[in-house]
Amino acid sequence: GSELKYGPYQNIPPFAYLPMVIHFENNQPFAVAKELVREIEISHWGNVQITEHYNLVHGGAESKGEFSRLDYQARPYVRGASAFRRLVAKLPPRAHSVYYRDEIGNISTSNLWGDSKKTQLEIEPRYPIFGGWKIAFTIGYGLPLQDFLFGIDGKRFLNITFGSPINELVIDTLIVKVVLPEGSKAISPSVPFPVKQRHEVLLVS
């Protein structure tokens, strides 16, 4: 079973403790973003462009020996039990112009579907990712500006997700860059947790 029970214990002095070590097998994929850079660009033309650059590693036990594509394809759920083959990004409902690529080019092994409440992008790397293996890729998509920008007392506020749309992902380092239209001023970010912050780099386009 999946349950361990200890005790009952008697005559234990206050604050007493003994170390306990539990060893178990876990073949669930463990995707870790060593670095994720999110670029959020606000356009005058009613669009928010999101670009996300991922540097991922499988954080599980490192795979030993050589990888055989033939063995893997013959028995993928045995030979590749601990590998992750796909990730799911849950995008906002009206996401459009979605792409998924790496340094080689566009990656066609992805599926996109959605409805009025959500858009879901299922991405599949070019190869299965085993423990210790690394991969880098980029996801990009556009969003309608009116869904995320609102005005109060002459000021404009952008309300958008800070982190990654991939839920089953542990992020070591997250960098968020927000590109505002030229002429923006009195910029004041509000984040519900401590972050390191830098301002204002002029971009020429």
Per-residue confidence (pLDDT) for residue 38, from 0 to 100: 96
Q: Closest Cα to residue 186, out of 165, 145, 156?
A: 156
Residues 6 or more apart in contact with residue 172 via CB below 8 angstroms = 32, 33, 34, 35
Specify the pTM: 0.79
Per-residue confidence (pLDDT) for residue 205, from 0 to 100: 56
- Tell me what percent of the residues of the chain surpass a pLDDT of 70: 90
Whether CATH 2.60.40 fits 31-179: yes
Return the domain boundaries, the chain: 31-179
Secondary structure letter of residue 146 according to DSSP: G
Task: Report which residue type is found at 14.
Answer: P
Q: What are the structure tokens assigned to 89, written together? A: 């990004």
Per-residue confidence (pLDDT) for residue 140, from 0 to 100: 96
128-163 pLDDT, tens per residue? 888 889 999 999 999 999 999 888 888 888 899 999
